Structures are given as C-alpha cells and as structure tokens.
Amino acid sequence: MTPGSDMLTLMQQLELQLLHTDFRNNTAALEQLLAPDFVEVAPSGHPTSRAEVIHWLLQKDPADRWQLSDWHVSELAADVRLVRYHALRSVPASASKGASHVSLWRLDRATERWQLHFHQSTKWTT
C-alpha cells in the first residue's frame, strides 16, 4: 500500500467512525474526534455548533448507515488533510440523491490523534 492510500484508508475510517459508531456509551471517543473549535456548515448554509453536532450524533439511530464514495484526500500540510466524498443514506433507504461532503482534519501533535475541525455538506438536487 502506498503512503497516499494509507492516508485515504485512515480518513475513510475516521469519517465512517463518526457516522456509524454508537457514541451513547462512549462520549469520550466522540469528544476526541471533534476538535474543540469544530464547526459545521449544514446543507442549509447555516453554521452548526460542535454541541449541536454532538447532540445529533448521540441521538441518531445507531442502525443508520451511509454509503460513502468518490473519495478525494488532499494533504494541505504535514498535519492537515482535506477530505471530499459523496454520502448517500442507505439504511433506512432514502429517496435523496445524497450530498457532497468536505471535511478538514488536523493531527493533534499532543495526542497524535486526528481531529475533525470543519465539515460541510451540500445536498445533491439533480
């Protein structure tokens, strides 16, 4: 496996971990994944706070699943990655065409863990 594919695999694992993990019994793991200054831009274009995203992740049905595809990972700096992908909710099935997602991950040098600092999703309408 090349270093680039290693990074792609790691970023895919982190994104899937956020969406598919039931954090209700392990909020500490969720707190570690989201940086203290994390912010999200919702499909509506409005900013969503870290607290709102944590609330959503803790309240969502743990059986919900998404199919993620069209991955692109760019190294912006040695400790910063820009991740782009398409997400389509598969369980429960949705009539939606999915959404384009962009995430900004940064390696916390103190803990040697990747943390999500920014996320934005844009729904596909056509």
| 106/104 Cα distance (integer angstroms) | 7
pLDDT for position 41: 96
Per residue in 48-94, pLDDT (tens digit) is 999 999 999 999 998 999 999 999 999 999 999 999 999 998 888 77
pLDDT at 3 over 60: no
pLDDT for position 126: 60
Has residue 44 been placed in a domain?
Answer: yes
DSSP state of 23: G
Which pLDDT band holds residue 4 (cuts at 50, 70, 90)?
A: low
pLDDT for position 50: 97
| Residue 11: its H or E element | helix 3-20
| 84/101 Cα distance (integer angstroms) | 6
CB 92 within 8 A of CB 119: no
Has residue 76 been placed in a domain?
Answer: yes
Has residue 27 been placed in a domain?
Answer: no
Q: Is the pTM of this model over 0.85?
A: yes
Residue 50: which CATH number? 3.10.450.50
**Could you list the residue range(s) of the whole structural domain that residue 103 is in?**
3-22+33-123
DSSP state of 60: S
Has residue 14 been placed in a domain?
Answer: yes
Has residue 61 been placed in a domain?
Answer: yes
More reliable by pLDDT, 45 or 115: 115
* Structural domains counted in the chain: 1
Has residue 103 been placed in a domain?
Answer: yes
Has residue 28 been placed in a domain?
Answer: no
pLDDT for position 93: 79
